[in-house]
Amino acid sequence: MAAVTGQQVADFLGHGDDVALVAMAEQHVQIVTAMAQAYTRGQGFEAGEPADDIAAVVTTATARLVSFPDQSVSQTDTAGTFSMTRSGAGFRTWTLPELFVLNRYRKRAR
């Protein structure tokens, strides 16, 4: 078990040499890790370190959050006469594959 780092998230995104992205990912990974720990009610964490499969969830969720940090519904980037619109790709909730992993650890209230 090892904590996820901003460098790992940036590497996952293919931009491990981007210092600004690594710094932003480092901040975001702490938030997503806390959310995963809360979701599982601490199960799957040992001394604050997530199990390997939970670390994978933290990595993928953080990558989505870092990719769209403002969490806007749509984002348009323009360069000259060209523009590109992206929508709905940020972190809004856990994805279905992430939930499969997290739900293995989650204790349900009774």
Q: What is the pLDDT of residues 19-49, one digit of tens each?
A: 999 999 999 999 999 999 999 999 999 998 9
- Domain-located, residue 110: no
Domain total in the chain: 1
C-alpha pair distances (Å), 91 with each of 21, 28, 73, 107: 16, 11, 11, 23
Which residue carries 């720990």 as its tokens? 37
Distance CA 33, CA 4 (A): 8
pLDDT average, residue stretch 70-82: 74
- Domain-located, residue 1: no
pTM listed for this prediction? 0.79
- Domain-located, residue 95: yes
Distance CA 103, CA 20 (A): 33
Domain range enclosing 84 = 6-105
